[in-house]
Amino acid sequence: MKSTLPAKLASAAMLLVPLAAAVLAQPAAAQHDSYRVVPSDRGTIRNVSLNSDGGLRPGATLRVQVYGTPGARWANVMLGDALRVPLQERAPGEYIGTHVIARGEHIDPSRLMTVRAGWGEGPVALAFNFPPSFQALAMGAGPVVAETVVNSFAVSQTEDLEPGTVVHFRLEGTPRARASVDIPDVVAGLPLREVRPGFYVGSYTVRGSDDPDAFADARAVLRNGDQRAIARLGDTQERYGSGYGRR
């Protein structure tokens, strides 16, 4: 199905809305906790996240992550009318791009950013609101503080865990934070170390007194200041921080 940008923007304006929380920018319009995506014969765009290490000032590095159907031949994000950030598929369905803001470049977070990607004959395009922390800049707020999120949490195995088995954990999320893993009735606060920005790893050796079934309920906790993000194996992440309830 051949898609055109005006049609996609019109659809987004009528049907879609940002979720209440954060760094994950969601499609523009309506008020629901879920949203529709743009269909295509070859692929769909689901959501986008945007972070910055210095707001929208010159010299700040923007990091864009787009999630959609794997295998796009090309993808990019338009941050305004002229600033195009190319994306590369780093993992199946995860497209990454970075951009350092140059002097003279202006990004208006009160407008929309547009994700475009091509799987087949015609492009797919979808407009998103900037995250609320970026929108606040348009109203004279202070610099953007990246919200704490967990993008993925994985474990090497949760079955056939005999005593002496080494279980490895991997978390991807907000860089320069503190990451740990909790396993019910086994270990609490097992630290993960950041091996490169936003990537945390750690391991645990199973003891004879451990319940092997408990490892399937492992959860990761990422802390950054007064914000906290939690992710459980196989579950949608839960985000905590200023403005969110705590459990």
52-80 confidence digits (pLDDT tens)? 887 888 888 898 999 999 999 999 999 87
Instruction: Return phi, psi of residue 208, to 5°.
Output: -65, -25
- The string of DSSP letters for 159-211 reads SS--TTPEEEEEEEESSS-EEEEEETTTEEEEEEEEEETTEEEEEEEPPTTS-
**Domain boundary assignment for the chain:** 5-137, 150-240
Whether the model clears a pTM of 0.75, i.e. scores above it, the answer is no
Q: Identify the pLDDT of residue 162.
A: 93
pLDDT at position 245 over 50: no
Whole-number Å distance between alpha carbons of 127 and 114:
4
200's tokens: 């945390």
Fold equal for 5-137 and 150-240:
yes
Q: Identify the pLDDT of residue 167.
A: 95
Whole-number Å distance between alpha carbons of 68 and 113:
16
CATH for 5-137 is 2.60.40
pLDDT tens digits for 192-213?
Answer: 999 988 899 999 999 999 999 9
Would you say domain 150-240 falls under CATH 2.160.20? no
More confident residue, 217 or 25: 217
Q: Identify the pLDDT of residue 243.
A: 31
pLDDT at position 29 over 90: no
141's tokens: 């707020």
